[in-house]
Structure 1
């Protein structure tokens, strides 16, 4: 372990820090994160002055807004069991820090820089009972220093994809020292568990359990706000395609096929949701669809049913999970670039879900495909043919809709299991 601590702290971490400093000169997202990290200790100090010493504090960490969807039901469950406890939630990305507002968060910060002296300083200040990490954003010094201070650290919703680089000889040795310093790791599936055991071998530490993905519970909880108002069959909704979390790479593949679908299916409308709905990106989408002779409107504060244009363009964040309940079929972006985004939200809304080929790291996408509720496409033609087939075959559509929702219901209960084990392990 000493070898890897030296390599990480004297070579890898300084290189990473230099890259972030350079990137902050050109990219606002990186710059915001850097500025936020410089004030994290002061934010923690202010929180502790308000809270006082001797309190039970849990420190949660999520990389971004998406990963907080896994944290949220666990955080709520823990607060229910220990109502007098406090929670610190740290984020790596501005998308989490800027857009997550939750009643159960007592202190929200950017994750401090992973320098060992700074991590120790922050942990000495807060004295958390446990550090709880979501999914994959594991920072070595945070784990190593926690262990040296006797602070319990747990990673939940852990996922290890087939062919992960963490199983290659040198990288595996590094991660064995990192994961082996955690107190507990809760994986999503048995396959994840087996890959983790290969990384850890021959270490006997930490506690490892298969507890599922709490994100299913969060998706179900959010959907409960809409299901009472939308008990009718998905086929009774408007014939509408919801294109959610669209990246530039998705546009290159699917735009022409969506235009052809809308020309061939005259009553089909579209809700277009850019991953980052800046004014420039929204304006470009408006121009594209108008050039194709489709009427467009920005969603603003309206509901889709209040707008009669063929294309509705979403110009703000935080609305996508509700919009799925106003459609019949969904395409989810990211599958031609960084990896497919949240396919659970359209699935719980009973929508057959289409997405690109980069989904191998997402168990929920693989389950949807296996059950017939999700469809991976390699090109725009496959999207055109797949959606047209669903609209032309009622039985096929209903089967896909049911299969999508069934995947969610089959995986519920993970948040409760995670909370139970966090308390007892």
Structure 2
């Protein structure tokens, strides 16, 4: 199986190289890895021990960030290196101040794994949630460098638990310890004879609770909202926005803030067609305070969403009509109920919020309107959401306490 894995990595490299000629993300992926070892050598002293954090993308960074920051607080002398697989993580966090170096992770080959580990000289390595790379994991194991998975989550349909998944189970065997989100993950790992796992919950709860306690002050958003009730639509895609525009027309007393997942020019223009009277954040921010009375604002930048929820009475979370919903916890932490599309089965927190009465999943506009009215008729669903987040915090402290034995 290893030879198939190696071929797959090479094929992926070839395909992404072809796509890079006409796709922006693929181009960032390829160009960001060009001369990567020279870039590392300029910034990192291989004789110094480091703590190495790897994140697939931006969501995993925010998930693992509480652990990273608490480690830095408790061990300020330790130097941290961050790697990302995806451009959507690297390009936004490449200037994060607590890391000595931030890099793209080279593709998983035996040679790359050896060179990276030599260059980083890690005393402990932390991967968040997922990404299981055979050569990196085996090389760390061979060198007896502790490797932790934090906020891990496993499902029965994953290849690790299939009769043909022996190669993938081998990758898991190289992990020193798993900190997982739920009891099901513990039992699944036990079913393949992996005992080195601890139920810790999800570090995202710590992150969103911290964010809600200290949100950014957004005077421009406050001015736009005024005294109106506000729906915040976060990480939306076109099918989400097509539903929200109908809600916007029926409830003119409400204000709507649309923060799309993609902010490319073409998608912003699609949203403007759906909401012809909307104003973009970049425009509103430069206008006189009394110049506009628009009902809808389109957020045409990255980085504001996690603080926008402070202004909402309810949130709509996008992605549920695609591969899966985005982050519901950021909204819930601010004490507002959430609505999302039908594809949420991979997200335990979404199921929990629905069961608690703080969220609803919808399939069409009629269901959206019903959910909207039900969840905003009282403050109870929002309080349930806030209490739910508060009840799940503490994972970060547990993980950092465990890590202390390596530091």
| Structure-2 residue corresponding to 1:264 | 250
**Aligned equivalents of 1:105 and 1:380: distance in 2?**
45
Offset of 1:173 from its aligned partner? 1.4
- The reply to whether residue 124 of structure 1 matches residue 110 of structure 2 is no
| Structure-2 residue corresponding to 1:297 | 279
Structure 1, 61-70 or 120-129: larger mean CA deviation: 120-129
- The reply to whether residue 351 of structure 1 matches residue 342 of structure 2 is no
| Structure-2 residue corresponding to 1:87 | 80
Indicate which of 57, 63, 77 corresponds to 1:70. Answer: 63
1:29 aligned counterpart, secondary structure: helix
| Structure-1 residue corresponding to 2:172 | 179
- The reply to whether residue 15 of structure 1 matches residue 21 of structure 2 is no
Asked if 2 retains the 8 angstrom alpha-carbon contact of 1:79 and 1:104, the reply is yes
**Aligned equivalents of 1:316 and 1:113: distance in 2?**
30
Asked if 2 retains the 8 angstrom alpha-carbon contact of 1:193 and 1:210, the reply is yes
Indicate which of 385, 388, 392 corresponds to 1:411. Answer: 392
2:29 aligned counterpart, secondary structure: helix
**Aligned equivalents of 1:420 and 1:303: distance in 2?**
47
Change (3 A) 1:267 1:110: same
**Aligned equivalents of 2:168 and 2:197: distance in 1?**
15
- The reply to whether residue 320 of structure 1 matches residue 308 of structure 2 is no
| Structure-2 residue corresponding to 1:369 | 354
| Structure-2 residue corresponding to 1:246 | 236
Indicate which of 202, 214, 237 corresponds to 2:193. Answer: 202
Superposition TM-score, scaled by structure 2 size: 0.91
Asked if 2 retains the 8 angstrom alpha-carbon contact of 1:238 and 1:327, the reply is no
Structure 1, 114-123 or 259-268: larger mean CA deviation: 259-268
| Structure-2 residue corresponding to 1:233 | none
Structure 1, 64-73 or 98-107: larger mean CA deviation: 98-107
Superposition TM-score, scaled by structure 1 size: 0.87
**Aligned equivalents of 1:33 and 1:260: distance in 2?**
37
Offset of 1:323 from its aligned partner? 1.1
| Structure-2 residue corresponding to 1:278 | 264
Number of residue pairs the alignment of both structures matches = 396
| Structure-1 residue corresponding to 2:365 | 380
1:416 aligned counterpart, secondary structure: helix
**Aligned equivalents of 1:194 and 1:345: distance in 2?**
28
Asked if 2 retains the 8 angstrom alpha-carbon contact of 1:185 and 1:209, the reply is yes
Offset of 1:288 from its aligned partner? 2.1
Asked if 1 retains the 8 angstrom alpha-carbon contact of 2:9 and 2:107, the reply is no
| Structure-2 residue corresponding to 1:218 | 207
Change (3 A) 1:237 1:407: farther
- The reply to whether residue 423 of structure 1 matches residue 390 of structure 2 is no
Offset of 1:227 from its aligned partner? 9.6
Q: Give structure 2 stretches of 5+ with no counterpart.
A: 219-225
Change (3 A) 1:164 1:399: farther
Offset of 1:228 from its aligned partner? 10
Offset of 1:303 from its aligned partner? 11
Offset of 1:183 from its aligned partner? 1.0
Asked if 2 retains the 8 angstrom alpha-carbon contact of 1:351 and 1:404, the reply is yes
Asked if 1 retains the 8 angstrom alpha-carbon contact of 2:358 and 2:375, the reply is no
- The reply to whether residue 188 of structure 1 matches residue 181 of structure 2 is yes
Structure 1, 347-356 or 159-168: larger mean CA deviation: 159-168
| Structure-1 residue corresponding to 2:34 | 38
Asked if 1 retains the 8 angstrom alpha-carbon contact of 2:246 and 2:365, the reply is no
| Structure-2 residue corresponding to 1:112 | 106
1:6 aligned counterpart, secondary structure: helix
**Aligned equivalents of 1:303 and 1:364: distance in 2?**
38
Question: Over residues 148-195 of structure 1, what are the superposed CA-to-partner deviations in whole Å (9 max), with x where a residue is unaligned?
Answer: 12211111110113533432221x312210001111111111112112
Offset of 1:7 from its aligned partner? 3.2
Question: Over residues 62-97 of structure 1, what are the superposed CA-to-partner deviations in whole Å (9 max), with x where a residue is unaligned?
Answer: 011111011211111111222111111000111111
**Aligned equivalents of 1:166 and 1:238: distance in 2?**
50
1:70 aligned counterpart, secondary structure: helix
Asked if 2 retains the 8 angstrom alpha-carbon contact of 1:160 and 1:361, the reply is no
**Aligned equivalents of 1:414 and 1:303: distance in 2?**
42
**Aligned equivalents of 2:79 and 2:150: distance in 1?**
19
